[in-house]
Structure 1
Amino acid sequence: MDTKRLSYFVKIIDKGSLTRAADALNIAQPALSQHLISLEAHFKQQLVVRSRHGVTMTEAGKALYRHAQIVLKQMDLMSSDVSEAAKVLSGSVSVGLAPYSTTSTLSLSLLKEIKRQYPEIMLHVNDNFGSVFSELVMNGRMDLALIYDPGMMRGVNFQQVAVEELFLISRRSAALPSDVKEAVPLTSLENVPLLLPSRIHLLRSLVDTAFETSHVVPKIVAEIDSMETLGAAISEGIGSTILPWSAASRMTDFKQLILRPIKDPAIEATISVCVSDNIPLSEPAMAVHDVLFRLVRELIASNQWPGVRPPQ
């Protein structure tokens, strides 16, 4: 198997047509078409369906595309590791940090520590909504991610590092008990207007499951995937939310908010480092992985964020 043909196949899929892929690769379209035919002959499978609009992957094509990305990523890592073996650690490392979590507060600390210890590593940090970090890690497009643990998932491995408690977050004028230490039974929130992350977020799944277990139908008035908008909406009295303490601490009017633990049941989320099962971490990525683990341990030990503890 020629890895060049795999790279050509990936480019065809990424560009959506043979014509655009040939232009990008600066080769003749008939030659590129012949490489595709050779791949299909090798696997004895049709890999794409051609039309005047471009190409569409078959199921076999989807499987090859997924594995080709892993193989090509591994080839790049091999070349990089061999070239850099005798040099100072350098290269690009991409890290995802779950939004709305304590982990997203580590962005600046991670950047500073990597710059101090490994100035030749180019760190790419993503702590925004809109991407499923576990899928990016699985496909080799992200080296590692610190995210809420969704449980067993094929293609990736989760290493638990912390457990984070969720709180009811409201503005002080909200018609709720004012004692910040007073735990709020989940059943008492049935008529409280709630502003929650959208359903693609694991935190939302945990909240929904807790309400369902308690046989309570929550009053959800809006779904918000922006920290700035969420904080402003709470400040305006539109509703309350259920998130970790760290999420509230990043809101502009944090001092005007009241955070209450939730009980019966408490809602907790496990934070894990997500790495690929198929693609070993490069030396630079392993260095970033180790720094990230240390920063999490230091964060827990400092008691900086209420409701965060080590996993059992």
Structure 2
Amino acid sequence: MNLRRLKYFVKIVDIGSLTQAAEVLHIAQPALSQQVATLESELSQQLLIRTKRGVTPTEAGKILYAHAHIILRQCEQAQLAVINAGHALTGQVSIGLAPGTAASSLIMPFLQMVREQLPEVQVYLHEKNCSSLNDKVIHGALDMAVLYERSPTAGLTSTLLLKEELYLIGAGEGPGRNVDLAEVARMNLFLPLDYSAVRKRVNEAFSLRRLSARIIGEIESIQTLSAAVASGMGVTVLPESASRAMVSSGNVWMSRITSPMLNLPLSLNVSSRLPLSPSAQAVKNILLSLLSKPVIEDCELMLVG
């Protein structure tokens, strides 16, 4: 195997089409097909399934795709490390961020600190659900991710940042400072989708109390969720930082859920197999310095004040 064939293979899988990949790579399609055939011959495995709608990787192809991402990323980091030896840190650092986390309110201070301390480093922020972010970190598409993580994930190293309590948010007349989970069960609920950490924690709490949630809608977007709650059609459950941000931007209330009290751990995840580049490590250090609990609490107070 050589790096060029691996790059071609990754691009084909990413695009899902030999024809379109050939256009992006500026190579004739027959020549690209030959490169794939050579790779398959070297590995004695079929790597792609060709259909009228494009191409998809076989099981062997999926395994190679995951390893190819790591190999290409390591080569890129090695090249950058050699080029940057003795010079200011440069390059792009990619960070995944689950919407509605405590880190969301610190993005502007974070970007400002990176700009001041690492002026030659570009930061790429990717906001998506937790499971998608973890996959991208494992496969090397992202350097790190900040998200709510309830259990260890293979292929990742997690740093616990803090634990956030979950709150009930609604419009109109609220239940007061605290609300029992049994009372929440009698309300119309808008919740994130099943794969989200918040939804899993809520489902678990209802199950342990032998309660049934009255879910009237599943909404992934924080903006849409905020609008649905503000309409008065239903309530939702979110971590404290997201709840405070929602309260500060609209005429809604928040109540701490008790009996039982619910919380979620916020973690910074990196690949356990791929070492961070010097630039990514420097950015990680800045992120960790901002994501200390006292700083987050101060930021939340600013949001509501």
Structure-2-length-normalised TM-score: 0.90
Aligned residue in 1 for 2:10: 10
- Alignment of 1:195 with 2:213, yes or no, is no
Aligned residue in 2 for 1:289: 284
CA distance in structure 1 between the partners assigned to 2:132 and 2:147 by the alignment: 10
Aligned residue in 1 for 2:28: 28
Q: Contact between 2:98 and 2:130, CA under 8 Å: does it hold in 1?
A: no
- Alignment of 1:225 with 2:220, yes or no, is yes
**Deviation per CA, 1:264-301, whole angstroms, max 9, x where unpaired?**
21111011111112211111110111111110115457
CA distance in structure 2 between the partners assigned to 1:171 and 1:92 by the alignment: 42
3-state DSSP class of the match of 1:238? coil
CA gap of 1:17–1:173, structure 2 versus 1, over 3 A, is closer
CA distance in structure 1 between the partners assigned to 2:223 and 2:136 by the alignment: 25
Q: Contact between 1:196 and 1:242, CA under 8 Å: does it hold in 2?
A: yes
CA distance in structure 1 between the partners assigned to 2:58 and 2:231 by the alignment: 50
CA distance in structure 2 between the partners assigned to 1:301 and 1:250 by the alignment: 12
CA distance in structure 2 between the partners assigned to 1:131 and 1:206 by the alignment: 15
Which of residues 238, 246, 249 in structure 1 aligns to 2:241?
246
Aligned residue in 2 for 1:106: 106
CA distance in structure 1 between the partners assigned to 2:22 and 2:242 by the alignment: 47
Q: Contact between 2:158 and 2:268, CA under 8 Å: does it hold in 1?
A: yes
Aligned residue in 2 for 1:45: 45
Q: Offset at 1:80? A: 1.1
Q: Contact between 2:170 and 2:234, CA under 8 Å: does it hold in 1?
A: yes
How many residues align structurally? 301
* Residue pairs, 1:229-308, within 5 angstroms: 229-251=224-246, 254=249, 256-297=251-292, 299=294, 302=297, 304-305=299-300
| Runs of 4+ that moved beyond 6 A | none
Q: Contact between 2:150 and 2:264, CA under 8 Å: does it hold in 1?
A: no
3-state DSSP class of the match of 2:291? helix
The unaligned stretches of length 5 or more in structure 2 are: none
Q: Contact between 1:196 and 1:241, CA under 8 Å: does it hold in 2?
A: yes
CA distance in structure 2 between the partners assigned to 1:299 and 1:109 by the alignment: 15
Q: Offset at 1:202? A: 1.1
Aligned residue in 1 for 2:94: 94
1:92 partner letter: Q
CA distance in structure 1 between the partners assigned to 2:39 and 2:195 by the alignment: 36
CA distance in structure 1 between the partners assigned to 2:265 and 2:36 by the alignment: 44
CA distance in structure 2 between the partners assigned to 1:228 and 1:54 by the alignment: 35
CA distance in structure 1 between the partners assigned to 2:5 and 2:262 by the alignment: 49
Once the two structures are overlaid, the 10-residue window that deviates more, 207-216 or 49-58, is 49-58
3-state DSSP class of the match of 1:140? coil
CA distance in structure 1 between the partners assigned to 2:127 and 2:25 by the alignment: 32
Q: Contact between 2:9 and 2:36, CA under 8 Å: does it hold in 1?
A: yes
Give the superposed CA RMSD.
Answer: 2.2
**Deviation per CA, 1:46-77, whole angstroms, max 9, x where unpaired?**
11223444333111011111111111111111
**Deviation per CA, 1:181-233, whole angstroms, max 9, x where unpaired?**
xx322122221112211223111111111111110101112222222332232
Once the two structures are overlaid, the 10-residue window that deviates more, 244-253 or 118-127, is 244-253
**Identity between Structure 1 and Structure 2 (%):** 37
Q: Offset at 1:81? A: 1.4
CA distance in structure 2 between the partners assigned to 1:93 and 1:137 by the alignment: 12
- Alignment of 1:211 with 2:206, yes or no, is yes
Aligned residue in 2 for 1:310: none
CA distance in structure 1 between the partners assigned to 2:22 and 2:296 by the alignment: 55
Structure-1-length-normalised TM-score: 0.88
3-state DSSP class of the match of 1:119? coil
Aligned residue in 2 for 1:158: 158
Aligned residue in 2 for 1:119: 119
